[in-house]
Copies of this chain bind each other. A is one copy, B any other.
Amino acid sequence: MIVSGTVVADSSTVLDDGAVVVDGSHIAAVGARSDLVERYPDHREVEYDVVAPGLVGAHVHSVQSLGRGIADDTELLDWLFDYILPMEASLSAHEMEIAAKLGYLELIESGTTTAIDHLSVAHADRAFEAAGELGIRGLLGKVLMDQRSPEGLLEDTDAALAETEDLIQSYHGAFDDRIRYAVTPRFAVSCTEDCLRGARELADRYDGVRIHTHASENRSEIETVEADSGMRNVHWLDEVGLTGEDVVLAHCVWTDADEREVLAETGTHVTHCPSSNMKLASGIAPVEDYLDRGINVALGNDGPPCNNTLDPFTEMRQASLLGKVDNLDPTAAPAETIFDMATVNGATAAGFDRLGKLEEGWRADLVGLTTDVTRAVPLHDVLSHLVFAARESDVEFTMVDGEVLYEDGEVTVVDADAIREEARAVAADMDLSEARKQAQDAKP
């Protein structure tokens, strides 16, 4: 297949009237359209106004999709213990599957081709199967919670780690290696030392398995960890093995200079989630400082209950605007930096090589967008347009690993209307009252 248009190959390379040739799961060539159409006469050509690398959502909760909008404008502890955790605890296997499908559907329609996805404690297999069915690339993991957690989510440490190992054996490298495993402790607050050390052991035992967790998102979290461990959160994570080049820490809003030095020295990846950090009033992550220290910072939407969308374009815009006002500097967080965060930095965090740019030999994950909207008129700079003015509704084409998932605004791999319909029905029937009662005992 040839995908042609204005090709944004990466944050510094734009080809007007360009094209990307896809052979199998990889990119065979990137260049001038006229040349490539001549060189590959047998390839079907599709044209979009803009062709770009697929976006990487480097911290997402697909299975929270059924909770979109259930707890807006709510205090954090109420948000978590009255809504989010009860929802996760109460979803049946089938409901978890629908939730995951809704999440992956939104991601694919929005131009996100790779997700680092924090699932839930139970029924993670349903999300893995859904990811395989919808064709998205992802680093997924069942959540570990073995202390300070509501009934229905609280697990025995050994059982949780054993189930994780089963899932690694079933799904790590599954679906033509589009899906890989991240051992996923929820956060230090809800995990014992044995659990955290067990997570590191599992990641070390299986080649390519990574670690993904929340870290230093809010102040009460770091206070709790410090009371438990006598250390700042990142130091504690480092102590138990949860830093390193195979570790993705979401948020990292509240870190001090010493902790940042640990992140830099260990090559730990940070996922910035600006909309979530704003909506939950967590604070503003020191992204500029992380980048200055050479830390790899990726971008994530977090979950629909704290965003409320999975639109990677809105998130790029948000990351830039928040960076500018936080630094009182309009040149901070420029489009190029933000686009890197949302593409190649995310791919690096997810551990997929040759991903996040459109280059010969790289993985064929890409998107096509229209610019036939008033928001795109005039269009002085296409990269800047993608960061500041584009929206998920502009995405018309999504390809992962050379497979077309979305074309001309239609999802090709599943019945999108049926997923939306079933999700509406499940959400309407969702009854959190029992799980909410159970969660109150664990509420701080």
A197 within 8 Å of B (CB atoms): no
Q: Which B residues lie within 8 Å of A414 (CB)? A: none
| B378 and A73 contact, CB distance less than 8 A | no
| B325 and A381 contact, CB distance less than 8 A | no
Q: Closest CB-CB distance, A280 to chain B, in whole Å?
A: 5
Partner of A278, one of B283, B307, B324: B324
| A278 and B325 contact, CB distance less than 8 A | yes
State how many copies of this chain the complex holds.
Answer: 2
Q: Do A72 and B280 contact each other (CB < 8 Å), given the known contacts A106-B375, A377-B102, A420-B374?
A: no
Q: In the complex, identify which listed stretch (A129-137, A156-164, A180-188, A329-337) lies at the interface while the others stay far away.
A: A329-337
| B73 and A330 contact, CB distance less than 8 A | yes
A230 within 8 Å of B (CB atoms): no
A69 within 8 Å of B (CB atoms): yes
Residue among A327, A331, A423, A428 facing the most chain B CB atoms (10 A cut-off): A331
Residue among A70, A281, A283 facing the most chain B CB atoms (10 A cut-off): A281
| B278 and A322 contact, CB distance less than 8 A | yes
| B378 and A423 contact, CB distance less than 8 A | yes
Q: Which B residues lie within 8 Å of A416 (CB)? A: 374
Q: Which B residues lie within 8 Å of A380 (CB)? A: 68-70, 427
A148 within 8 Å of B (CB atoms): no
Partner of A325, one of B69, B283, B378: B283
A434 within 8 Å of B (CB atoms): no
| B76 and A308 contact, CB distance less than 8 A | no
Contact with B along A77-89 (1 / 0, CB 8 A): 0010000000000
* Cα distance A389–B384 in the bound complex, in angstroms: 23
Of all chain B residues, the one with the shortest Cβ separation from A380 is B69
| A69 and B283 contact, CB distance less than 8 A | no
A231 within 8 Å of B (CB atoms): no
A105 within 8 Å of B (CB atoms): yes
Q: Which B residues lie within 8 Å of A330 (CB)? A: 73-76, 79, 279-281
* Cα distance A282–B311 in the bound complex, in angstroms: 26
Q: Closest CB-CB distance, A16 to chain B, in whole Å?
A: 13
* Cα distance A375–B395 in the bound complex, in angstroms: 14
Of all chain B residues, the one with the shortest Cβ separation from A332 is B281
Q: Do A72 and B428 contact each other (CB < 8 Å), given the known contacts A332-B281, A375-B106, A423-B377?
A: no
Q: Which B residues lie within 8 Å of A284 (CB)? A: 325
Q: Which B residues lie within 8 Å of A424 (CB)? A: 377-379
Q: Closest CB-CB distance, A31 to chain B, in whole Å?
A: 25
Partner of A69, one of B311, B321, B385: B385
| B374 and A72 contact, CB distance less than 8 A | no
Give A365-394 interface residues, CB cut-off 8 Å to B.
Answer: 373-375, 377-381, 384-385, 387-389, 391-393
A217 within 8 Å of B (CB atoms): no
Q: Which B residues lie within 8 Å of A278 (CB)? A: 321-322, 324-325
* Cα distance A381–B424 in the bound complex, in angstroms: 13
Q: Which B residues lie within 8 Å of A307 (CB)? A: 388
Contact with B along A21-51 (1 / 0, CB 8 A): 0000000000000000000000000000000
A296 within 8 Å of B (CB atoms): no
Between A and B, 10 residue pairs with Cβ closer than 8 Å are A68-B378, A69-B389, A73-B384, A102-B374, A278-B324, A279-B330, A308-B375, A374-B420, A377-B423, A391-B392
6 smallest CB-CB distances across A and B, nearest first, come from A378-B427, A393-B393, A278-B321, A73-B334, A278-B325, A281-B330
